A and B are shown apart, each in its own frame.
Chain A
Amino acid sequence: AQTVTQSQPEMSVQEAETVTLSCTYDTSESDYYLFWYKQPPSRQMILVIRQEAYKQQNATENRFSVNFQKAAKSFSLKISDSQLGDAAMYFCAYRNIQGAQKLVFGQGTRLTINP
């Protein structure tokens, strides 16, 4: 079974600075998807970024980028120029491409932005 681990329960960063959230996962599959979801206090789950394992290029969405290290099974999220609106819980998630379609989530990292 696949597992996802986020080893940082909480992180904080100064506004306008850069922060990196860590995620590791375990799978025997060679092709899969990885995601970062954001959950603000409203509790809405918002997709931040997606990475396909067969792509070597790291995904980027505006201020959000990932460092995908397939051999190390590592998938970190970098937030540049942090803004107050980035404060939220961040969840790393894994999904098979074939077979089971469910998302497997990490435990989450609570990100605080200090003004």
Chain B
Amino acid sequence: DAGVIQSPRHEVTEMGQEVTLRCKPISGHDYLFWYRQTMMRGLELLIYFNNNVPIDDSGMPEDRFSAKMPNASFSTLKIQPSEPRDSAVYFCASSGGLAGGREQYFGPGTRLTVT
């Protein structure tokens, strides 16, 4: 399996622009998670889905952030409009399948820089 795939790996954008991060989970996994990593706050959950349905979005910072999972093999995290404080590494992770969902497997992350 190719593992969790995220794109782009790096994104540099100007304040006010729309940013879309993409994730393809491991085939057969029914949970998908979006995490954000910053120096100040560490690793924190933004939102997670089960069977394409958002279960907990309490970590989404504000209305500028939105996430969708239109099917089992694709999810997006959108920031509109972006701000410099959104600069961070965004990770997508998935779990489920025969392992019973104990482990979460992480993608390589997207490093977002908002200038």
A102–B42 contact, CB under 8 A?
Answer: no
Whether the Cβ atoms of A102 and B48 lie closer than 8 Å is yes
Q: How many A residues touch the partner, as a band?
A: 20 to 34
CB pair B102–A50 under 8 Å, yes or no, is yes
B45 at the interface (CB under 8 A from A): yes
Count: A-B pairs, CB below 8 Å: 49
A84 part of interface (Cβ distance < 8 Å): no
Contact with B along A71-115 (1 / 0, CB 8 A): 000000000000000000001000100001111011110000000
| Interface-located stretch among A10-18, A19-27, A40-48, A61-69 | A40-48
Q: Decide if A44 touches B103 in the complex (CB within 8 Å).
A: no
Q: Is the CB of A108 within 8 A of B42?
A: yes
Q: Is the Cβ of A45 less than 8 Å from the Cβ of B48?
A: no
A93's closest neighbor in chain B, by CB? B43
Residues of B within 8 A of A91 (CB): 43
Choice from A47, A101, A106 contacting B105 with Cβ under 8 Å: A47
Are B106 and A44 neighbours in the complex by a CB distance under 8 Å? yes
**Alpha-carbon distance A35/B43, docked complex (angstroms):** 14
- Could you tell me the distance between the alpha carbons of A105 and B59 in the complex, rounded to whole angstroms? 14
List the interface of chain B (C-beta within 8 A of A).
Answer: 31, 33, 35, 42-45, 48, 50, 55-56, 59, 89, 91, 93, 95, 101-106, 108-109, 111
> Would you list the 8 A-B pairs with minimal beta carbon distance, nearest first?
A45-B106, A105-B43, A102-B45, A43-B109, A107-B42, A44-B108, A47-B103, A101-B31
